[in-house]
Amino acid sequence: MPYFDNDGCQLHYEDYGHGAPLLLVHGLGSSTRDWEYQIPVLSQHYRVLALDVRGHGRSDKPRETYRIADFADDVAALIEHLQLPPVHLVGISMGGMIGFQLGVDRPELLRSLTIVNSGPEVKAKSPRDWLEIGKRWTLSRLLSLETIAKALGKLLFPRPEQAELRRKIEERWPQNDKRAYLASLDAIIGWGVRERLSRITCPTLVISADRDYTPVERKREYVAEMPDARLLVIENSRHATPLDQPERFNSALLAFLEETANKEN
């Protein structure tokens, strides 16, 4: 199981397949395991790398303040550790924020960017926003990870046939380190790079579930601010699209990556 060191923090990653490098970045409270329906398919065409950012999965969980910039630096360090050419980066939720951060700070590291159910900022702009953010911050501290897991499972996978996906959330979420989980949540709140989106010039695909936490229209607005970006909406999906619609997600991602390669040739 490969590890590498970034600034004294030991980070776990997985490495599959051959070809152009494709780097998968998970969301808050998740890990490399949440790409289980993508890795077998994508690794038939690409060298697929999946990273546990600090505070998550099998990586170290240093007792310190976390920032999205720190997570992005972990991603950059992996690219440099493996001496990779510019990568295709795919990030979901917090992983999408990490992708945005890397894109504005180190655009030379990216060949393409795929953002899944995410955005370039988490800033309260209305009383309702303040209420929602405050509620999440408070409940995350008051409730156990087991209680949060059960609520998340029902929210993300409400249909009877999704019982196995609910079980996975209920099993995996409590394995988080609560302190690192809260530090990562704090890193998200108030973060933003929207004013620098024009620096991301690589081809960008923004995938939004039709029933994601934030409206499709909000994604449409920031996509319009990017030089080479498009929006794809996946129907009958919630926040965990790679898990609840894996076939549709995988085919859309592969089509985008193939188109990107064809444009370069």
Q: Select the CATH number that applies to the domain covering 3-123+193-264 from these four: 1.10.10.350, 3.40.50.280, 3.40.50.1820, 3.30.365.10.
A: 3.40.50.1820
Q: What is the pLDDT of residues 31-61, one digit of tens each?
A: 999 999 999 999 999 999 999 999 999 999 9
Which residue, among 171, 166, 167, has the nearest Cα to 154 in the 3D structure? 166
The domain segmentation of the chain, as residue ranges, is: 3-123+193-264
CA gap 102, 74 in Å, rounded: 10
Q: What is the pLDDT of residues 182-227, one digit of tens each?
A: 999 999 999 999 999 999 999 999 999 999 999 999 999 999 999 9
Cβ atoms of 110 and 21 closer than 8 Å? no
Q: Which helix (H) or strand (E) covers residue 53, if one does?
A: none
pLDDT, position 128: 78
